[in-house]
């Protein structure tokens, strides 16, 4: 499958790893939009939030259970934002489910 994030998981494209276990991979965004900008992705290929269902969504709970640890290990101490862009109107550019962790500074009050 020609998926950028599947290639990052496989190590075919290098990335700066923040966390990894059997279910997920977390790495620093190549074009950070905050002092700390990490992407957390499931190791299974799910195209977006819109591709979630009762059969494949358990990994989302696992990812959210781990996000506080990932954020803390990355040095975030005063809060963070978790975002998942889904589909064209949200400007999703990589079609592999991912959660942005943004922190390390006061973020904009606006989300869109």
d(CA 32, CA 79): 17
Task: Tell me whether residue 5 or residue 80 sits nearer to Zn ion (CB atom).
Answer: 5
Instruction: Spell out, one character per residue from 44 to 73, where the chain touches Zn ion: x when CB under 5 A holds, - when not.
Output: -x----------------------------
Q: What are the structure tokens assigned to 41, written together?
A: 């992705």
> Binding of ligand 5GP at residue 82 (CB under 6 A)?
no
Instruction: Return the number of the residue (63 or 92) whose C-beta is nearest ligand 5GP.
Output: 92
Using CA atoms in the order 56, 90, 7, 103, what is the torsion angle rounded to 10 degrees? Answer: -90
Q: How far is the CB of 53 from ligand 5GP (least distance, A)?
A: 20
Residue 3 vs residues 10, 54, 67: alpha-carbon distances, Å: 11, 23, 23
CA–CA dist 31, 93 (Å, integer): 13
Q: Is 98 a catalytic residue?
A: yes
Identify what 93 binds: ligand 5GP, Zn ion, none; CB under 5 to 8 Å per kind.
ligand 5GP
Q: Which residues bind ligand 5GP (CB under 6 A)?
A: 4, 13, 15, 27-31, 39, 85, 91-94
């Amino acid at each position: 499958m020609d998926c950028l994030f599947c290639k990052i998981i496989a190590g075919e494209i290098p990335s700066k790893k923040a966390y990894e276990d059997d279910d997920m991979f977390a790495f620093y965004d190549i074009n950070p939009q905050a002092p700390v900008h990490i992407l957390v992705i499931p190791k299974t290929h799910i195209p977006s939030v819109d591709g979630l269902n009762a059969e494949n969504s358990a990994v989302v709970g696992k990812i959210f259970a781990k996000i506080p640890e990932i954020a803390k290990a990355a040095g975030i101490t005063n809060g963070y934002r978790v975002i998942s862009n889904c589909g064209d109107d949200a400007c999703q550019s990589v079609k592999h489910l991912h959660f942005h962790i943004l922190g390390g500074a006061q973020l904009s009050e606006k989300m869109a």
